[in-house]
Structure 1
């Protein structure tokens, strides 16, 4: 009902001459870009268009997003009352819908409001809560920016510097340049406060270059003013005067004055439209009340007649009320018991999550020793009997690693640690890469994998290719496990296209052993493989299909199954994607392994575990690579500053300075040496955080040796080749 009221308040918007036809996401991206360029009038109109489409389609989440976009933009314009109006509307809407991302953005806007109200510690607390509510990369980057500014105001320069340096190398999908520029401005002001004038000027000039290149209008004004003050303090008055002239020319331009008037008019008009809808609703209510006044005399007569009846019912109602009160007391007791049980369940879930996070990391460390030493021993010409034992040990290590990865993946989804990305990818290429990676398993079972791909599917789509490839790796891998001397078909068919919305039907079909009707009911539950006999014969943990179900749930899709014993199985689902046909096709691409010549390379190993140090150093020496070892992050920073290395292998989880903090410190004086995070990832780890800190790549421990060497080669030789080509 609340949404019907909210929609009623906005209906006059549909009276416009033209109703927009693009998706809300399109207009949100447009508004974000325009807002960052200070084209506030157009940004407001884009958000208004998004809200119109959301209301027309009954898209409650997009409607909430539009309220938040309005609130954020009005906060940026210092129109607090307007921002509060839309923030309150979003708050009411969120009470009627489960929307974690919307709730996180809501909390984020509240934190900005508290920051503007000069309540920095409350703002920081709200930002910490926001970080727990969503894993959206753009939102996390904006949290870093706001936190950096707050810590600047609190004179906590070390923390602020860490936040700003993380954003300088950000990989944000929407605002990479804008966030980097804001980070440079933050660093410029930070270095000014520390009286590091030369560094402050360098950061400010970098910020001005980015702002000028991208037409970030307000920031051009801000940085010119900052540079004028900086140069004046340094006694470089000619440069200070030049920046002052730039500042005055921009501020005094007719374009600026006219734009401010237009922005104010547009903002007011949007608010008038919203307010008019509310006035119309109230007038209708007033008319209803006026009509009821004429009936009051009749109602008075009828009321006297009913009084007698009511008095007779009073005693009965009183007795019923006493019974109701007793019942309510019992219900209250039961509710309290249920609340206690729910709290206990939540605590148990948190304890389980923390346990799995710790165990997954701690198990990976000894597993690294097992798999690493096994690999080294296999290369040292063991006897035939020893070789058999070592292969068995390697198989057991790989099995245990896959098991840990599966459990970690499921619990990341259950703990809302995963959110699908929305990036451009080629679907056919992704499917072919999955099939190619499983060809060895297919050959072992003498099974053929066939891709049936509908060429009408757009070549460029928007979704999360990594998570989709995990879905197909599990489905095709599962089909191959239970199919010998047969065929596994991977099908992709275009179902329908509506503007940019594309629906694709996927199916993985095999002619293997099949699944009975009874077993199909529980096949998607964890650790289920149909029967103990199947488990003994075919192995595995039974978690693959559980992961598929959980991952597809992130895309609001559902896996379905048809199967008969002895006749094979068919797993199928539909997926909604966004089309990007305007993009040019990629050059045909194949993954090729390159044999690199590693001889003569010198690498820094940053690792606190002594056994892991020995294994990594030994694996490098096998390729004639020399290496130094740093036992912790602080030592790594000192050694990187004092020596020249071809690459740095950085462990993340270390006592004292962590690996990502050490990477940030190294990037302050060295932006060229490749840094590869070599770490055992836990439940709480985010790959984006490693890249944001300045890592060029990530290799998870334990790893396959060929992957380890390939990553080192790619990051050292390919980066050198790219620099040589650029020069």
Structure 2
């Protein structure tokens, strides 16, 4: 029984301890939260007074607390506030880093209100750097989110920021409409700062539109409000505006008066800022402090000479002790200063490293953006070529037109492959290109490549001979697109450097192991040949036989580098044999898996079933979001052919509004558009509609951006130009209620 009591006692003790620890934890959290709020309030006061370094210090302390208590909302807000301070002290690179961190946190936790505030701040920074297109995109995103969250009072600031850009760009009518909206909202919510600023900006617009009386009236009203509420920045801006207006209309006396007022106020503001710069004790002050201490000690020593010996000794010992303590204090003070200076230097060095890292990341991002833009610009017309070709093939063309259309389709498909591989050359070198094996007929593949390039050969008066080993199986499993590009590059080179000659394309077996055939391909020509000195460099990027050859025959010199990279990825090897004036032979070997199933005789033709025919499409509505008119026409025609109804809009803002008004089953969203991007439009739609199926119908390079598409809320990606069967398959899954499993996001 005593044991039982003991266990009961232990249990109660543990329980009480747990309760007390939880209570202490809650109290600790409450205390930390209170400290965090105090730091934020103090940071606001410091910032308003121009004490930016003190504000930064308080914000850093607040961020430490927010991180400790895992307060994600405040973490995001604080990073945004830090960015504002960093920009005010002329550190735009650090401000950009802080804003990126804030955006990441706010997107993760769906904090749309503060995300919109961060977008607005980012827009202001881009605007100050005169990156107006970027700034307007961020202002648009901010405005849409504020509207979505029903936060009208915040929109006045965004509209005011937009107006300032339009004034800088001399787009006065657009500026005027934004300022009118700002004034309405500012009056509604008693926003004196924004109201006075909007009136001053309106004065600039009116003056530019030759409405002098209105301009003066607006500027004076803005000045009056700014003075009443002691908004010095706006007072100063009003002085400049009034000086400019009077100067433009030859009233030089009034212009001079306001510019003098501006200079006087600017000096006052500058003095306030100087007074707010934190100052520590300088080396000179330390020396003075030491001299004062020594003088005081000397006086004390002289004073005790008249006292008794015992008193003198006691006093001297006391003075010595005081001296030692003073010196220790002074030493500690100096050490503390040295440590602070060292920490400052370390922080500065750390900041420099962060900036350097950010610049490197920015350079990498710039390169990625460049490649993305190039891809988009090339794929967009290709989408038109392949789309129109497919439509013409489906519209019962004349018999003699079919070979030409098929040749056009083949060329378009492989041009797309070529573009993709050109843009992925860095990935090829890094072995990051993924294989896409599928069943294909090798003999047909070779014949198609030869057929596609036969016109070029005919132009050179060159004959192509094809030799496919007798008895060699035709059907294999492999990445046929990469094999096609290898063949196109090598055969294209042979044609380019062979005039009035012959080219031989050969395919034969080296050996067979299990179910894998090791095949050798030869592309032989009797053209100009390659010197022995140049043969070792032919697979290097941008390498040509000589400057003269480059001028005469053209080309980038990337083809053979891509070929070598692709063959290595396919686990093959390549080499060449050449003699100047007698021709060149390229040999490459590839292991290919034999496709036994394809060789089996077919008992009957199986008619291809269109899965869309099984669905009732009468009430289905699809929204196409695409800014390119040709692409709009092609996508709409493809959908109409499938008996699908669709609407078309040409920008992200219109897409958001349309989705609010109409119930759609599927949205096909382009990415690069004027205004907000498809990514931002999708994020906004997801704030009020989580269930709508949204496909990214895009021509951008996707490999490095999968997480962005998934995070934005896309269900899947349809890459332009798309295969008709893939397009139909994904639409069928969406419209039939199947669960969409994207290979891009898995």
* Superposed pair shares fold, TM > 0.5: no
TM-score w.r.t. the length of structure 1 is: 0.39
Q: Relative contact order (C-alpha < 8 Å, sep 6+): which is higher?
A: 1
TM-score, normalising length from structure 2? 0.38
Indicate the structure (1 or 2) with the bigger Cα radius of gyration: 2
